[in-house]
Amino acid sequence: MTLTPRHVNLDTLPRQLFINGEWVDGLAGARLSVRDPYDDHEILTIAEAREADVDRAVAAARAAFPAWAAMNPSDRGRLLYKLVEKMEACFDELAELEAIDTGHPIRDTRFLDVPRSLLNFRYFAGLADKLDGRQVPVEPGFLNVVKRQPVGVVGQIVPWNFPLMFCSWKLGPALAAGNTVVMKPSEITPLSTLRLAQMMHEVGFPPGVVNIVPGYGHSAGQRLAEHPDVNKIAFTGSTATGRKIVEASSGNLKRVSLELGGKGPNIVFADAVLPAAVGGSAFAIFHNQGQACIAGSRLLLEESIADAFLEKFIALAESIRLGHPLDPDTEMGPLTSRLHQQRVLNYLDICRKEGNRILTGGSSPDDAALAQGCFIRPTVVEAQPGDTVFTQEVFGPFVSVTRFKDEAEAIALANTGDYGLGSGLWTTNLARAHRVADAMQAGMVWVNCYKRVHPGSPFGGVGQSGYGRDLGTECMNEYTEAKSLWINYDAQLPPFYKR
Least distance from ligand NAD to the Cβ atom of residue 157, Å:
5
Answer for which of 5, 173, 178, 261 binds ligand NAD (CB under 6 A) is 261
Q: Does 237 bind ligand NAD (CB under 6 A)?
A: yes
Q: Which of 17, 334, 419, 347 is nearest to 160 (CA)?
A: 334
Distance, CA of 37 to CA of 86 (rounded, Å): 28
Closest contact distance (angstroms) between CB of 200 and ligand NAD is 19
Between 179 and 291, CB nearer to ligand NAD: 291
Using the rule CB under 6 A, which residue among 14, 37, 150, 159 binds ligand NAD? 159
Interface stretch with ligand NAD, choices 114-122, 133-141, 218-226, 305-313 (CB under 6 A): 218-226
Of the pair 77, 461, the CB lying nearest ligand NAD is at: 461
- Select the residue interacting with ligand NAD from 269, 395, 426, 450 (CB under 6 A): 395
Residue 23 CB, nearest approach to ligand NAD (Å): 20
User: Which residue stretch of 29-37, 87-95, 233-241, 485-493 sits at the interface with ligand NAD (rule: CB under 6 A)?
Assistant: 233-241
Under the binding rule (CB under 6 A), the answer on residue 288 touching ligand NAD is no
Q: Is 354 part of the annotated catalytic residue set?
A: no
Of 205, 202, 224, 52, the C-alpha closest to 153 is 224
Catalytic choice (293, 351, 374, 475): 293
SS3 call for 357: coil
State the Cα–Cα distance between residues 123 and 117, nearest whole angstrom: 10
Work out which of 186, 211, 257, 364 binds ligand NAD, going by CB under 6 A. 186
| Stated length of the chain | 499
Q: What is the CA radius of gyration of the chain?
A: 24
When the beta carbons of 326 and 374 are compared against ligand NAD, the nearer one is 374
Shortest Å distance, C-beta 419 to ligand NAD: 9
Instruction: Give the three-state DSSP class for 244.
Output: helix
CB nearer ligand NAD, residue 235 or residue 309 = 235
Is 244 one of the binding residues for ligand NAD (CB under 6 A)?
Answer: yes
CB 438 within 8 A of CB 269: no
Distances (CA, A) of 310 to 282, 303, 315: 11, 11, 8
Edge-to-edge order in the sheet of strand 444-447:
358-360, 379-382, 398-404, 298-302, 265-268, 422-426, 444-447
Residue 238 or 429: the one with the smaller Cβ distance to ligand NAD is 238
> Minimum Å distance from CB 73 to ligand NAD?
27
What are the backbone dihedrals phi and psi of residue 129, each rounded to the nearest 5 degrees, phi first?
-105, 25
What is the rounded CA–CA span in Å between residue 65 and residue 181?
9
Longest dimension (CA), the chain: 94
Comparison of 238 and 384: residue with beta carbon closer to ligand NAD? 238
Residue type, position 424, single letter = G
How far apart, in whole angstroms, are the C-alpha atoms of residue 336 and residue 348? 18
Question: Is position 318 annotated as part of the catalytic site?
Answer: no
For ligand NAD, the binding residues (CB under 6 A) are 157-161, 184, 186-187, 216-218, 221-222, 225, 236-238, 241, 244-245, 259-262, 293, 393, 395, 421, 461
Catalytic positions are: 259, 293
